[in-house]
A and B are shown apart, each in its own frame.
Chain A
Amino acid sequence: EDQVTQSPEALRLQEGESSSLNCSYTVSGLRGLFWYRQDPGKGPEFLFTLYSAGEEKEKERLKATLTKKESFLHITAPKPEDSATYLCAVTPLDDQFYFGTGTSLTVIP
């Protein structure tokens, strides 16, 4: 059964304290893995797409990496404005789309 699991559910960081969010997946073939950011009352905002193991992508303080079983979203020296829920989603080869439950990140000044 295809599954996506994110951890931790919630994370509180001090401003400048780097950390990583995890997305573990079990799918029968991966077409793409996606990271989104969602602010309260807003739709998910696209961050990254990763297609194959070993791939990495960066955007400002965020860096996403992918292995055959999981993806990490590394946050370097976070700022309060990075506070949001980060969602991971995967598309297997059958073109379905599975969301994880998200990680709620709070960055304290």
Chain B
Amino acid sequence: GAVVSQHPSRVICKSGTSVKIECRSLDFQATTMFWYRQFPKQSLMLMATSNEGSKATYEQGVEKDKFLINHASLTLSTLTVTSAHPEDSSFYICSARDSMWGRFYGYTFGSGTRLTVV
């Protein structure tokens, strides 16, 4: 089945620095990828929808200048947390829409990235 690879799985950074998280679709082309944030014991909260070759669409309340999303190819989307602060510490998960030739197969998730800002 479809596989989405997300790196790194864990990252610790100092307050004020930037962190980049990569999300790759390994065996399919993903024109649309999604970035989620998850707090402990809560469900996934959609942050933004990333479309290949165009600007990301951010959900209400998500700062687009803080969470930079780039979807430069059909297999790679990146999320950069800029000027990270301790309140940005969270679990970030990406997913990709698996579809081809007009047929929709579903959504596949990456394994997540645990970001800790100290």
Contact = CB atoms under 8 A, between A and B. Distances in A.
| Most chain A CB inside 10 Å of its own CB: which residue of B44, B46, B108, B111 | B44
Q: What secondary structure prevails in chain B residues at the interface with A?
A: strand
B43 A102 contact: yes
B107 A43 contact: no
Interface of A: 31-32, 34, 36, 41-46, 49, 87, 89, 91, 95, 97, 99-102, 104
B1 A46 contact: yes
Contact of B112 (A31, A43, A89): A43
Given A97-B46, A101-B43, A46 B91 contact: no
Interface of B: 1, 6, 34, 41-44, 46, 91, 93, 95, 97, 104-112, 114
A42 B6 CA distance: 11
B111 A42 contact: yes
A36 B108 CA distance: 10
13 contacts: A41-B112, A43-B95, A43-B109, A46-B1, A46-B106, A46-B109, A49-B105, A49-B106, A87-B44, A91-B104, A97-B34, A99-B46, A102-B43
B39 to A, nearest CB: 12
A89 B114 CA distance: 23
User: Which 7 pairs of residues, A with B, have the shortest CB-CB distance?
Assistant: A43-B109, A43-B112, A101-B43, A44-B109, A43-B111, A43-B93, A49-B106
Given A87-B43, A97-B34, A100-B43, A43 B106 contact: no
Given A32-B106, A46-B109, A41 B44 contact: no
A66 to B, nearest CB: 14
A23 to B, nearest CB: 12
Most buried by B among A44, A46, A87, A104: A44
A80 to B, nearest CB: 20
A99 B111 CA distance: 17
A104 B42 CA distance: 10
A32 B105 CA distance: 9
